Amino acid sequence: MTDDTQTNLALLPAGLRDLLPPDAETEASAVESLMDVFASHGYQRVKPPLLEFEDSLLAGFGAAVADQTFRIMDPESQRMMGLRADTTPQVARIAATRLARSPRPLRLSYAGQCLRVRGTQLAPDRQIAQAGIELIGQDSPEADAEIVLVAAEALTAVGLTRVSFDLTLPMLTPTLMDEAGIQGAERAALARALDRKDAAAVAERGGSLAPVLTELLLAAGPADRALAALLAARLPNGAGALATRLADVVAAIRSRAPDLRLTIDPVEFRGFRYETGVSATIYAPGKREELGRGGRYGGGDTEPGTGLTLFPDAVLRVAPARDARPRIYVPLGAPSGDSKAVRAQGFATVAALAAVSDERAEARRLGCSHILAGASAVPLTTEV
């Protein structure tokens, strides 16, 4: 095989990449650490399929990710199928169908890969690892708080003790615009101004809402300041109920984790368009990359739920480095019991498959830090 052929075989589509040793093992270990925390809080693991028929994958909440979904024809059934772009709609489907008779609230967890049509400027990857939780069948501030608290504990398990949860109300500004009768092009222009954080444009296009929207736009920041602005605004009807709910969620979080960093952006919306209540995005201090996000969804004719997804790739980029499993070279003919003993000590054994003239040199060549001598693990830096 020529060098050019090897290079061509290594090329991958934009946004896709190979994860090599030891990074693949590090990611898998981190995911299991996250999942262990989820399980310790009663979240039971489910495993949805990577592919589903399009009409089920994109039903309900799934419609919000339709533009990010890869579609293929199933040669068996001749029906269109979709590759999941997000796991939450699948978990909601499982809860509504296969687990419909299970006691509520239903606590489910998941880990797996998703594929999206396009990445973003800040997150160009199109294949995304997810590890998350969903709490289904309970609509309360305590449920909203629980997913934040469990996610914070899971991040602590991988070494991230200083994170910030940015709380948002994705339905606040749409509700205010509905109640003020702002529609059509005027509504779209105001939404763009809010998205750009353009206070001047909000003041120009906000009409009767301009004063309150400008106040809320400028209130983004630490939770206490933003909540004070929300409550002082005396928001009407549905918008006021959303603000009160957010205040109750913050109180529930602080009652159990008073030192957890909380910020609020009242007019921000991130994530998929199925979120209807208090939502959260997780950041590490000084980093713009999202470590996770989620929030409340459903309600009305749909069973209420709330959930939060962590992105292991992003988490590992900012978490303290995890030590790779040490590798020990096992010379040809070493007793199997000795190999088993050092594996129990946390070593990965690399067994010789043929005799070599210099076992220590071979151990170094194979990336080992130790060599098995008798029943002992001897560092290669130690002369024998």
Distance of CA 181 to the CA centre of its chain: 36
Segments of 29-154 assigned E as strands: 44-45, 51-53, 70-73, 80-83, 106-115, 127-136
Q: What is the pLDDT of residues 146-181, one digit of tens each?
A: 999 999 999 999 999 999 999 999 999 999 999 899
Q: What is the pLDDT of residues 275-304, one digit of tens each?
A: 889 999 999 988 878 999 999 998 777 899
pLDDT of residue 5: 53
Domain boundary assignment for the chain: 327-379
pLDDT of residue 273: 66
pLDDT of residue 1: 54
Segments of 151-201 assigned E as strands: 164-168
Check residue 374 and report its DSSP letter. Answer: T
Question: What is the residue type of 67?
Answer: D
pLDDT in tens, the chain (384 residues): 555 555 567 789 999 999 999 999 999 999 999 999 999 999 999 999 999 999 999 998 888 899 999 999 999 999 999 999 999 999 999 999 999 999 999 999 999 999 999 988 778 899 999 999 999 999 999 999 999 999 999 999 999 999 999 999 999 999 999 989 999 999 999 989 998 889 999 999 998 899 999 999 988 999 999 999 888 888 888 899 999 999 999 999 999 999 999 999 998 866 556 788 999 999 998 887 899 999 999 877 789 999 999 999 999 999 998 888 999 999 999 999 999 999 999 999 999 999 999 999 999 999 999 999 988 999 998 865
pLDDT of residue 4: 57
Cα angle 313, 318, 323; round to 5: 85
How far is Cα 186 from Cα 189, in angstroms, rounded to an integer? 5
pLDDT of residue 142: 98
User: Reduced to 3 states, what is the DSSP secondary structure of residue 92?
Assistant: helix
How far is Cα 260 from Cα 256, in angstroms, rounded to an integer? 9
Check residue 61 and report its DSSP letter. Answer: G
Q: What global pTM score does this model have?
A: 0.91
How far is Cα 162 from Cα 170, in angstroms, rounded to an integer? 25
Using alpha carbons, select from 144, 359, 371, 366 the residue that is nearest to residue 262: 144
How far is Cα 367 from Cα 326, in angstroms, rounded to an integer? 9
Q: What are phi and psi of 305, to 5 degrees?
A: -155, 165
pLDDT of residue 170: 92
Cα end-to-end span (Å), the chain:
42
